[in-house]
Copies of this chain bind each other. A is one copy, B any other.
Amino acid sequence: MQLKLEHFNIKIGQHKVLLNVADARELGVNPGDRVRIRGHQSLSAIVDTTDDMVPPGTLGLFHEVYEHFQDWDKPVEVVPAYRSKSVSVIKKFMDKKPATQDEIKILVNDIVEENLSDIELSAFITSSYIHGMTDDEVEWLTRAMIESGDTIEFDTHPIMDKHSIGGVPGNKISLLVVPIVAANGLLIPKTSSRAITGAGGTADLMEVLCPVEFSSQEVKEITEKVGGALVWGGATNIAPADDKLIRVEYPLSVDPYYQMLASIMAKKGAIGADNVVIDIPVGPSTKVPSVQEGQKLSRDLINLGHRLGMNVECAITYGSSPIGRKVGPALEVREAMKVLESMEGPNSLIEKSAAIAGILLEMGGAAPRNRGKEIALETLRSGKALEKMKQIIETQGGDPNIKSDDVQVGQYTADIFASADGYVIEFDNKWIIEIARLAGAPNDKGAGVSIHKKMGEAVRKGDSILTIYAEKEFKLENALTTAQRTNPIVVEGMLLRRVPGTYGFQ
């Protein structure tokens, strides 16, 4: 069927065209079918139909399809196309039938090329959420994710990397781990994410200090120059399938286990990592509620690493409380810089960073067995880590002379006070994140929360438990109102409950 073209200047994340219902019936295609567009560029697209958006004889092109045309004044020949091979692969996942390596590769490529509809993608996510995947399938998925994007090959080895499973507020340790490891002569090209549901990802934090958007080639160059990089993975085209899957997982609030494994390891594989440490915070409001589950996840990550030729160690860490006392990009950067400058700062942050960095130093041969943490702490104390951080900041285009006190935090602040004398006995990570987000984090870099009293600490009535920071007054009010209304920080005296005796007066 010959159709003239009409352009709808809207990106919808899939190759889609709009047919008048009359033309669709004449072609014998239904919404969700595909058509092939013959022309100087031959491509296929998913059909949607309309009574009135395009007239008969016209093909409406959404932006992703339109981009393929140079000469769109000419009519095109449109024919029904076979169902995408990927859809039959998705059907296999729905039916819990094994998929082959080639099939998974085709599927991942179609995901990256935006050749699949939301309906198809969601069926894949939902099926793998319900049925899981075999070890082979996870390996093939990971390999396909690596191959469908940019990869970096370094001339020197080993390449080090770390990853933290999310869920803990204030987990700013990469700002310390990367310079410690690089200061000891190892290469660590760290790509990080921006927060989606959190108060600040490492990329959001680092952006307070310098640009974080680089191509994978630039990441390579930065790393080769100064030993470490702290960049936003989303700009690199490394394992790009991940972002396409997150777009579908997010509205369903799911993160299918085996896809999480594949996504983590694909990013490590794509930069050619030899040695990887995965930080697995365990606690009721993290992604991993129990140590048992942390151990299973560890085994699965180590096993997958082995299949991919990577040396993986996992660190199961305490995840019931924030790391350090600051949550939100600028506040966290300040806290981390202060540690680099003077070792001043919360124990939880210094200890955890040194432990993780220490494992990496041992794996990379820069520290003898069992002495990694000690050397990591020494790297901090000596100022070498600060020196390295300055080099990284400068190489990424920031000001290397920035001091922790120079980092601007939100000018509007308000406190939450203890309602009684006693001890902080409940403290909800999710609540902290929500307050920080309401105050503007991660978009408003200066917004966040400073925690004065953590779980188990003694307070007196009227003490400030936390301070909320915001860049905009109305956001501060929003956050404060919600904080006061929903306050889950329970302060109780040491006497939690009096249990009366059974026999008369005691």
Query: Are A91 and B252 in touch, CB under 8 angstroms?
Result: yes
Q: Which residue of B lies closest to A83 (CB)?
A: B253
Cβ distance A247 to chain B, nearest Cβ, rounded Å? 6
Instruction: Please report the total number of A residues contacting B with Cβ < 8 Å.
Output: 49
28 A-B pairs, CB-CB below 8 angstroms?
A10-B18, A13-B48, A30-B250, A31-B247, A32-B247, A32-B250, A33-B251, A46-B251, A83-B253, A87-B251, A87-B252, A87-B253, A91-B252, A91-B254, A94-B252, A118-B122, A119-B119, A119-B121, A120-B122, A120-B251, A120-B252, A121-B122, A122-B122, A123-B123, A123-B126, A126-B130, A130-B130, A130-B131
Cβ distance A441 to chain B, nearest Cβ, rounded Å? 9
Q: Which residue of B lies closest to A46 (CB)?
A: B251
- B-facing residues in A193-225 (Cβ within 8 Å): 196-197
- B-facing residues in A52-110 (Cβ within 8 Å): 53, 83, 87, 90-91, 94
Cβ 8 A contact of A130, one of B28, B94, B253? B94
Query: Are B118 and A119 in touch, CB under 8 angstroms?
Result: yes
Is A452 interfacial (CB 8 A cutoff)?
no
Q: Which residue of B lies closest to A116 (CB)?
A: B251
For the complex of A and B, 7 pairs with smallest distance between CB atoms: A32-B251, A122-B122, A118-B118, A25-B443, A126-B126, A119-B122, A123-B126
Is A352 interfacial (CB 8 A cutoff)?
no
- B-facing residues in A13-30 (Cβ within 8 Å): 13, 18, 25-26, 28, 30
CB neighbours of A120 from chain B (8 A): 122, 251-252
CB neighbours of A123 from chain B (8 A): 122-123, 125-126, 252
Is A431 interfacial (CB 8 A cutoff)?
no
Q: Which of A's residues lie within 8 Å of B, judged by CB?
A: 8-13, 18, 25-26, 28, 30-33, 46, 48, 50, 53, 83, 87, 90-91, 94, 117-123, 125-127, 129-131, 196-197, 247-248, 250-254, 437-438, 440, 443
CB neighbours of A251 from chain B (8 A): 31-33, 46, 87, 117, 119-120
Q: Which residue of B lies closest to A120 (CB)?
A: B251
CB neighbours of A46 from chain B (8 A): 251
CB neighbours of A117 from chain B (8 A): 118, 251
CB neighbours of A440 from chain B (8 A): 28
Contacts A87-B251, A94-B254 aside, 14 further interface pairs with beta carbons under 8 A come to: A9-B53, A10-B10, A28-B438, A28-B440, A46-B251, A87-B253, A90-B252, A91-B252, A91-B253, A94-B129, A94-B130, A119-B119, A120-B122, A122-B123
Copies in the complex: 2
Q: Give the CA-CA distance A440 to B80 in the complex, in Å.
A: 13
CB neighbours of A10 from chain B (8 A): 8, 10, 18, 50, 53
Cβ 8 A contact of A31, one of B8, B129, B250? B250
Q: Which residue of B lies closest to A26 (CB)?
A: B443
Q: Give the CA-CA distance A99 to B30 in the complex, in Å.
A: 32
Q: Give the CA-CA distance A123 to B127 in the complex, in Å.
A: 8
Q: Give the CA-CA distance A118 to B438 in the complex, in Å.
A: 28
CB neighbours of A8 from chain B (8 A): 8, 10
Q: Give the CA-CA distance A32 to B50 in the complex, in Å.
A: 24
Cβ 8 A contact of A11, one of B12, B33, B50, B196? B50
CB neighbours of A254 from chain B (8 A): 91, 94
CB neighbours of A28 from chain B (8 A): 437-438, 440, 443
Cβ distance A212 to chain B, nearest Cβ, rounded Å? 15
CB neighbours of A119 from chain B (8 A): 118-119, 121-122, 248, 251-252
Cβ distance A193 to chain B, nearest Cβ, rounded Å? 13
Q: Give the CA-CA distance A482 to B46 in the complex, in Å.
A: 24
CB neighbours of A252 from chain B (8 A): 87, 90-91, 94, 119-120, 123
Cβ 8 A contact of A30, one of B26, B118, B196, B248? B196
Q: Which residue of B lies closest to A472 (CB)?
A: B26
Query: Are A53 and B126 in touch, CB under 8 angstroms?
Result: no
Q: Which residue of B lies closest to A248 (CB)?
A: B119
Q: Give the CA-CA distance A126 to B122 in the complex, in Å.
A: 8
Q: Give the CA-CA distance A32 to B251 in the complex, in Å.
A: 5
Q: Which residue of B lies closest to A126 (CB)?
A: B126
CB neighbours of A126 from chain B (8 A): 94, 122-123, 126-127, 130
Cβ distance A458 to chain B, nearest Cβ, rounded Å? 34
CB neighbours of A94 from chain B (8 A): 126, 129-130, 252, 254
Best-surrounded residue of A10, A91, A94, A251 (most CB of chain B within 10 A) = A251
